[in-house]
């Protein structure tokens, strides 16, 4: 049966390749993304054919391997169909806007290479999201009409840039992995020396693993977005944090994301490092008011999950990594670029916070002006 299913996979791959060969896609879409999708489909087909022609078919004990190969190939095909072919087929007006926006941001930030493709294809997420391995960023439908959530697009761009560095970029996070190991080794020694709970040792090792696997990347993406957008990213992160029905802003249980409190501490550290001291103080004061709500209480050992030492070192490493790439910070863009998008996003927040009655008209006019410039 597995051979028959593999044959069906080949048929489906060929169908998708035929869809890609038709010259009826939007002429403005990212041609590199189209070529990469075709290349991935061809590579998957070769993998499936190699499995079908494997000389070990029929040898006792090999069936499990072929089942596993089929499942892996089928999962890969489903990803390519949805996040490749369907993305290309649904490239419409919102995509024209977001991809023009991304190209302009890319240029103004001084980032080389081709920017990732942005899609509004439906997912279960109401936030921006990234599939870095596919050079793909997702935008919630309807966000093309608004400004205040756009900075979150730059967080997801950070995931793509971190993925790029594995190929051609120097390490953006520096020696942070060694620092993580050192910090948690010291904490574990202290727990053992003081003969404290063995459960705490287990928890410390869990936190160390999460730092290595996911937390440092999320912090780094916040730092990269702050580097490019300055206070606007911090304000957007506050907005997204207070908009959610959070279980706890001090959450240490998520394997994928650090707590909102720690992320804001990290973002504000980058603002301070960039010289935006007044804005950082203003944001920190407002955020502290939010943290005093009765629903939020800092748990025991919380400082061990997100130590200031680690956050400060990562902030410094990412700042230096961005500078070493010659990427333009928010301040650099304001000096070197005429009305950069980063400046418009900061202006949007300034108006909302200080003259909220003017914000709606400002947003409508700004979005209309961006649309007009992108179509020119």
The answer to whether 314 and 90 are in contact (CB under 8 A) is no
Same domain, 85 and 98: no
Q: What is the pLDDT along the chain (376 residues), one digit of tens a residue?
A: 888 999 999 999 999 999 999 878 888 888 899 999 999 999 999 999 999 988 777 676 667 788 889 999 999 999 999 999 999 999 999 999 999 999 999 999 999 999 999 999 977 778 999 999 999 999 999 999 999 999 999 999 999 999 986 654 457 999 999 999 999 999 999 998 887 788 999 999 999 999 999 999 999 999 999 999 999 999 999 999 988 765 679 999 999 999 999 999 999 999 999 999 999 999 999 999 999 988 888 999 999 999 999 999 999 999 999 999 999 999 999 999 999 999 999 999 999 999 999 999 999 999 999 999 998 7
User: Does residue 373 form part of some domain?
Assistant: no
Q: What is the DSSP string of 204-257?
A: HHHHHHHIIIIIHHHHHHHHHHHHHHTHHHHHHHHHHHHHS--S-TT----SS-
User: Alpha-carbon distance 328 to 23, whole Å?
Assistant: 38
The answer to whether 247 and 343 are in contact (CB under 8 A) is no
User: Does residue 317 form part of some domain?
Assistant: yes
Same domain, 258 and 204: yes
Measured CA angle at 15 (ends 12, 18), to 5 deg: 155
Single residue among 89, 123, 141 that ends a domain in this structure: 89
Same domain, 266 and 339: yes
Same domain, 263 and 348: yes
User: Does residue 376 form part of some domain?
Assistant: no
User: Does residue 62 form part of some domain?
Assistant: yes
Same domain, 235 and 109: no
Range of the domain at 64: 2-89
User: Alpha-carbon distance 157 to 128, whole Å?
Assistant: 10
Same domain, 72 and 13: yes
- Collapsed DSSP state (helix, strand, coil) of residue 115: coil
Same domain, 275 and 220: yes
Same domain, 58 and 107: no
User: Alpha-carbon distance 188 to 158, whole Å?
Assistant: 32
User: Does residue 171 form part of some domain?
Assistant: no
User: Does residue 306 form part of some domain?
Assistant: yes
The answer to whether 66 and 4 are in contact (CB under 8 A) is no
- Collapsed DSSP state (helix, strand, coil) of residue 117: strand
User: Alpha-carbon distance 160 to 162, whole Å?
Assistant: 5
User: Does residue 372 form part of some domain?
Assistant: no
Containing H/E element for 316? helix 308-324
User: Alpha-carbon distance 4 to 10, whole Å?
Assistant: 10
Same domain, 146 and 183: no
Same domain, 349 and 298: yes
Same domain, 309 and 161: no
Q: How many domains does the chain have?
A: 3
């Amino acid at each position: 049966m597995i051979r028959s299913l593999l044959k069906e996979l080949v048929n489906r791959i060929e169908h998708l390749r035929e869809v890609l060969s038709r010259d009826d896609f939007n002429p403005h879409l990212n041609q590199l993304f189209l070529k990469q999708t075709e290349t991935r489909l061809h590579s998957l087909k070769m993998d499936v054919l190699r499995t079908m022609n494997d000389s070990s078919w029929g040898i006792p004990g090999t069936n499990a391997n072929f089942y596993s190969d089929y499942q892996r190939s089928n999962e890969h095909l489903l990803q390519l169909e949805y996040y490749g072919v369907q993305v290309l087929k649904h490239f419409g007006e919102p995509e024209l806007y977001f991809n023009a926006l991304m190209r302009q941001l890319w240029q103004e930030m001084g980032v080389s290479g081709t920017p990732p493709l942005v899609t509004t294809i439906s997912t279960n997420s109401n936030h921006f999201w990234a599939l870095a391995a596919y050079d793909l960023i997702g935008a919630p439908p309807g966000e093309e009409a608004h400004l205040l959530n756009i900075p979150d697009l730059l967080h997801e761009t950070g995931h793509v840039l971190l993925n790029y560095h594995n190929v051609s970029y120097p390490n953006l996070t520096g020696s942070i992995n060694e620092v993580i190991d050192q910090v948690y080794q010291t904490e574990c020694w202290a727990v053992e020396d003081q003969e404290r709970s063995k459960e705490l040792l287990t928890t410390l090792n869990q936190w160390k693993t999460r730092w290595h696997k996911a937390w440092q990347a999320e912090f780094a993406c916040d730092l990269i977005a702050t580097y490019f957008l300055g206070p606007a990213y911090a304000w957007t992160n506050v907005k997204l944090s207070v908009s959610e029905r959070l279980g706890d802003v001090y959450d240490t249980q998520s394997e994928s994301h650090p707590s909102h409190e720690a992320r804001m501490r990290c973002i504000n550290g980058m603002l301070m490092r960039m010289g935006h001291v007044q804005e950082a103080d203003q944001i920190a004061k407002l955020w502290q008011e939010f943290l005093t709500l009765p629903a939020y209480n800092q748990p025991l050992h919380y400082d061990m999950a997100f130590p200031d030492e680690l956050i400060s070192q990562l902030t410094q490493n990412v700042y230096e990594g961005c500078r070493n790439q010659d990427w333009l910070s928010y301040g650099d863009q304001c000096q070197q670029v005429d009305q950069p998008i980063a400046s418009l996003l900061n202006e949007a927040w300034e108006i909302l916070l200080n003259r909220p009655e003017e914000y709606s008209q400002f947003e409508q006019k700004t979005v209309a002006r961006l649309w007009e410039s992108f179509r020119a």
